[in-house]
Each structure stands twice: as C-alpha cells, then as structure tokens.
Amino acid sequence: MPTPWLFGLLGGALIGGAAAILLLINGRVSGISGIFSGVLSPKRGDFAWRLVFVAGLIIGGALGFVFYPEAYHSTVERPLPIIALAGFLVGFGTRLGGGCTSGHGVCGISRFSLRSLVATVTFIGVGMLAVFILSLFVHGR
C-alpha cells in the first residue's frame, strides 16, 4: 500500500468527520462499542439509529471488499480459541471501561475528557505490553 501515513491521515479525517456530523445533527457520540451494545441490549426508542449505524459500517466494509480488497489482506494468523478469547475481552473490556478506540480515543479526547485520556493511555499501554510479552513466545506476527 503506497504512503500508508497519508491514507491513515485521510481515513482518520473521515472518521473524525463522521463523528462530528453524528454529534452535530443527532447529538450522539460515535462510540462503536457503546452503539453496538445498544443493539445487543436494546432500549425502547434508542435502537433503530444504532442498528442503522452498524449497518452503515458493514456497508462501508462491503464497498471496500469490492473496490479495495487489499484492506482485508490480513497476515495475522492466530488459533481460533485465541481469536475467540480476544473478542470476548474486547467486548467485555470496552463496556466495563465505557468505551473503545472510537468513543474514548477519538470522541473523548476531542472533548478533552480526562477519563477518555486515561482509558486510551491504559489500553494502548497494556496492548503494547501484551504484544511485547507475546513476541517472547511467538516468532513473527
């Protein structure tokens, strides 16, 4: 992929723009784990926009699948039980911590929220430590 940093910056700008529009028009924070949680544990009158937002994410993904398949050329191979454990930890952890990379990392830090800053530093720090420990046992990634 040419100039990944430029793609990163552009993609990031789209993410930030989408989050800004959702807040400006609908008054909602673009925290993906929170939005998805509201789909799984629905509350009356607070369900449809969440379902449709998640559908939008997947439609965007499907568009990429057709026009930009490189975006799915994963080189990470993990045993399925590890993938399952990772998924469970991400789901449980993001809800316990009240947000993920989008809700805390993008939206929260944009609002100068101390909680979001602390959460972001924590999950990045622990993630770096985990990758380091993992690299002692597994060669390559």
Partner 1 sequence: MREIFVALFCGFLFGVGLLLSGMTLPQKVIGFLDVFGAWDPTLVFVMVGAIGVNGLAYVFIRRRQGPVVASTFHLPPKRPVDGKLLCGAALFGVGWALAGYCPGPALVSLASLQGDVTVFVIFMAAGIWVHNRLFPI
Q: How many CB atoms lie within 10 A of CB 74?
A: 7
- 87 near partner 1 (CB under 8 A): yes
> Is 71 a binder of partner 1 (CB under 8 A)?
yes
Q: Give the containing element (helix H, strand E) for 115.
A: helix 114-137
137 touching partner 1, by CB under 8 A? no
138 binds partner 1 (CB under 8 A): no
- The answer to whether residue 74 forms part of the interface with partner 1 (CB under 8 A) is yes
Q: Produce one character per residue of 91-118: b if its CB has 16 or more CB atoms within 10 Å, e if not.
A: eeebbebebbbbbbbbbbeeeebeebee
Spatial contact of 109 and 115, defined as CB atoms under 8 Å apart: no
Of positions 2, 44, 132, 137, contacts partner 1 by CB under 8 A: 132
Q: Does 64 bind partner 1 (CB under 8 A)?
A: yes
Question: CA-CA distance, 110 to 104, in Å (whole number)?
Answer: 9
Give residues 101-130 in contact with partner 1 (rule: CB under 8 A): 101-102, 104-111, 113-115, 118-120, 122-130
Binding mask 21-60 for partner 1 (x = CB under 8 A): xxxxxxxxxx-xx--xx--xx-x----xxx-xxxxxxxxx
